[in-house]
Amino acid sequence: MSLLAELRRRFARPPEEVRAVVADPDERVLAWGILARDAGWLVATSRGLRTVGGPGEDLLPWHEVGHARWTATTDGGGSFTVTPLAEMEPGVQARLPAVRHVLTDAGDLPATVRRRVDQTIVTSRRSPLPDRGGLLLVARRVPGQVAREWTVVFDDDADRDDPVARDIARQRLAEALAAEQPD
């Protein structure tokens, strides 16, 4: 990409349709990419990842992004595979089915998504379960909350219903919280 094209892209304003959807003065558009097949835009805002212009315009807050994997193509596009998290009960999250977004032009979106998701994660710890998989303890910054929020995500959703796995998760979570408390 030429220097002039790069400067134009960097200082370009978001499309009007994107600005219209992100009308709240407390939410800023950070980056956007053009979705394939005229499906609209994938937009990174100060609040989360948003689809605009296609079916189901929605916002996925940054602290609810479990995983976002970018696969680039040689033409400036690529695809994002985003795995959202959902709270199943207080302190326990589950991975929802991954959603794939194909982009014809990604712009600064991949770097912005990476930075924003990374900024929500304070720390994470993997803990094995006996005889199978494990669980992930994650402390995240949640907008509007002073304290970080610790959650557990099981590798296998079936382990959420296993009393032994739940006890281990509660124990690991208590240990993580205790380690943060000053003596």
Cα separation, 42 vs 144, in Å, equals 24
3-class SS at 106?
coil
Structure tokens at 86: 């959902």
Q: Name the average pLDDT for the chain.
A: 88
Cβ atoms of 148 and 141 within 8 Å: the answer is yes
Residue 115 host element (H or E):
helix 109-120
Reported confidence tier of residue 1, pLDDT bands at 50, 70, 90? low
Reported confidence tier of residue 80, pLDDT bands at 50, 70, 90? very high
Average pLDDT over residues 113-121: 95
Q: Which DSSP string corresponds to 132-158?
A: EEEEEEEEE--TT-SS-EEEEEESSGG
Cα separation, 174 vs 168, in Å, equals 10
Does the pLDDT at position 87 exceed 70? yes
